Amino acid sequence: MKTKAAVVHTVGKPMEIEELDLDGPGDGEVLIRFTHAGLCHSDLHVVTGDLPARLPMVLGHEGAGVVEEVGTGVTRVKPGDQVVCSFIPNCGTCRWCATGQQAICDMGATILEGYLPGDRWPISGPAGKYGAACMLGTFSQYGVIHQNSAVAVDADIPLDKAVLVGCGVPTGWGSAVNAAAVKPGETVIVVGIGGIGINAVQGARYAGAKNLIAVDPLENKREKALELGATHAVASAEEATALAMELTRGVGADKGIITTGLVTEPQVTTTFHSISKGGTVVITGLNRLDINNIQLPATILTLFKKTVKGSLFGDCNPTTDIPKILGLYQSGDIKLDEIITRTYRLDQVNEGYEDLEAGKNIRGVIVHEHE
Ligand SMILES: NC(=O)c1ccc[n+]([C@@H]2O[C@H](COP(=O)([O-])OP(=O)(O)OC[C@H]3O[C@@H](n4cnc5c(N)ncnc54)[C@H](O)[C@@H]3O)[C@@H](O)[C@H]2O)c1
Ligand SMILES: [Zn+2]
Ligand SMILES: [Zn+2]
């Protein structure tokens, strides 16, 4: 069949909308009609070359849709199911899945090449074989994905909101709840309030942070953070450090979570010095693979027993955490409607990323059209 998709052919060039050919679903695979796709900064890292991906690639890794058809051996979903896509697949049996760490499942090894197990490339077109970002490629009307990337959700879940639970919400929420393990009464700093950071704010609030300091140079971001549970909002990590010291009588924050679009050495260093003895810095945002953006005094790390750690997918287990988070949305404990700033058509995808770069959106969402 044919599908219209947004493709990056060359690093640094805008995405191109192309009509591509899509195979039917093979063994273990699912044909999905994508209804919505979220505009996450990670796709932009592929466009800019921060994340070196095999090109051409159909971008988009935050997505939701409806199962149209399943291949042989598919047991996780059936035609007609509503699905939220997990940006890392989970096999269930590798060492990481088997120990409750689905976010680092070995199947994720090919997310930057974008083919499915067995060297399967379901998408083709004028430039040959096309990969799909995170083995999903949600900036396409239709996709063939592996069943291990599909999480079925209840029929009464609105996909136009649930789409964010494919990446941004669990990544941010889990960065606070799982990776930082925020506890009631703690002081928490979240640096960078985009689609990830706003959900770190929501997670830290839900986990009981007493002082929750949101950091973003942009006023619209700070306002949204205050609306969704931050107790303070400041423009820079330096101001957050001073405020955390003041609020804790010089002890420092318990947790710092870095969710900026490009994580830099000064952000990491400042956040490191803002946390107390025994405190934790979680780094969730990305930058170029080859930059050493952690430059820290290890002796202070040791003498103050501090922890600096990375987090992928908020250390979530998508098969259980995606439904859990959607349940918290239905009970009003996690807000999704409030964090979608604007919707776009597929052919407006580059405009969507211009808006992200200009800081206009908490999250932008593509609403797919099918004739
Ligand atoms: N680890 C993971 O599993 C994972 C998953 C998804 C996204 N990410 C990464 O997380 C990062 C954030 O993604 P996003 O979609 O929320 O991006 P975004 O561009 O929507 O938001 C980033 C925010 O950081 C702010 N910012 C920039 N410089 C800042 C500074 N010096 N201090 C404070 N705030 C600053 C921006 O104003 C913006 O509001 C990206 O690098 C993305 O690739 C990681
Ligand atoms: Zn993402
Ligand atoms: Zn696995």
User: How distant, in Å, are the alpha carbons of 22, 83, 92, 347 from that of 147?
Assistant: 17, 10, 12, 28
Q: What pLDDT score was predicted for residue 371?
A: 79
Bridge partners, 62 (sequence order): 38
Bridge partners, 120 (sequence order): 116
Residues classed as catalytic? 40, 42, 45, 61, 167
Ligand that lies nearest to the alpha carbon of residue 236, given by its number in the listed order: 1
Q: What is the pLDDT along the chain (371 residues), one digit of tens a residue?
A: 999 999 999 999 999 999 999 999 999 999 999 999 999 999 999 999 999 999 999 999 999 999 999 999 999 999 999 999 999 999 999 999 999 999 999 999 999 999 999 999 999 999 999 999 999 999 999 999 999 999 999 999 999 999 999 999 999 999 999 999 999 999 999 999 999 999 999 999 999 999 999 999 999 999 999 999 999 999 999 999 999 999 999 999 999 999 999 999 999 999 999 999 999 999 999 999 999 999 999 999 999 999 999 999 999 999 999 999 999 999 999 999 999 999 999 999 999 999 999 999 999 999 999 97
Separation of 200 CA from ligand 2 center, angstroms? 14
Ligand that lies nearest to the alpha carbon of residue 146, given by its number in the listed order: 3
With the most atoms of ligand 1 within 8 angstroms of its CB, the residue from 101, 213, 259 to mutate is 259
Q: What pLDDT score was predicted for residue 218?
A: 98
Q: For residue range 53-62, list pLDDT tens digits in order.
A: 999 999 999 9
User: Which two tokens mark 236?
Assistant: 């820079």
User: What would the 3-class secondary structure string for the chain be?
Assistant: CEEEEEEECCCCCCCEEEEEEECCCCCCEEEEEEEEEEECHHHHHHHHCCCCCCCCEECCCEEEEEEEEECCCCCCCCCCCEEEECCCCCCCCCHHHHCCCHHHCHHHHHCCCCCECCCECCEEECCEEEEEHHHCCCCECEEEEEHHHEEEECCCCCHHHHHHHHCHHHHHHHHHHHHCCCCCCCEEEEECCCCCHHHHHHHHHHHCCCEEEEECCCHHHHHHHHHCCCCEEECCHHHHHHHHHHHCCCCCEEEEEECCCCCCHHHHHHHHHHEEEEEEEEECCCCCCCCCCCCCCHHHHHHCCCEEEECCHHHCCHHHHHHHHHHHHHCCCCCCHHHCCEEECHHHHHHHHHHHHCCCCCCEEEECCCC
Which atom of ligand 1 is the closest one to the Cα of 284?
A: 1
The candidate with the shortest Cα–Cα distance to 329, out of 188, 156, 103, is: 156
Which atom of ligand 1 is the closest one to the Cα of 198?
A: 16
The candidate with the shortest Cα–Cα distance to 125, out of 223, 55, 197, 199, is: 55
Q: For residue range 82-104, list pLDDT tens digits in order.
A: 999 999 999 999 999 999 999 99
Closest Cα to atom 27, ligand 1: which residue? 260
Q: What pLDDT score was predicted for residue 79?
A: 98
Instruction: Note the pTM of the prediction, 2 decimals.
Output: 0.98
Q: What pLDDT score was predicted for residue 316?
A: 98
Q: Are 57 and 131 in contact (CB under 8 A)?
A: yes
CA distance 362 to 220: 9
- What residues line ligand 1, using a CB cutoff of 6 Å? 40-42, 45, 167, 171, 191-197, 215-218, 221, 237, 259-261, 267, 284-286, 311-313, 356, 359
With the most atoms of ligand 1 within 8 angstroms of its CB, the residue from 39, 40, 218 to mutate is 40
CA distance 225 to 215: 9
CA distance 154 to 329: 13
Amino acid at 339: I
Separation of 191 CA from ligand 1 center, angstroms? 8
Which atom of ligand 1 is the closest one to the Cα of 267?
A: 31
Q: For residue range 167-196, list pLDDT tens digits in order.
A: 999 999 999 999 999 999 999 999 999 999
Q: Is 45 buried (19+), middle (13-18) or exposed (0-12) by CB count in 10 A?
A: buried
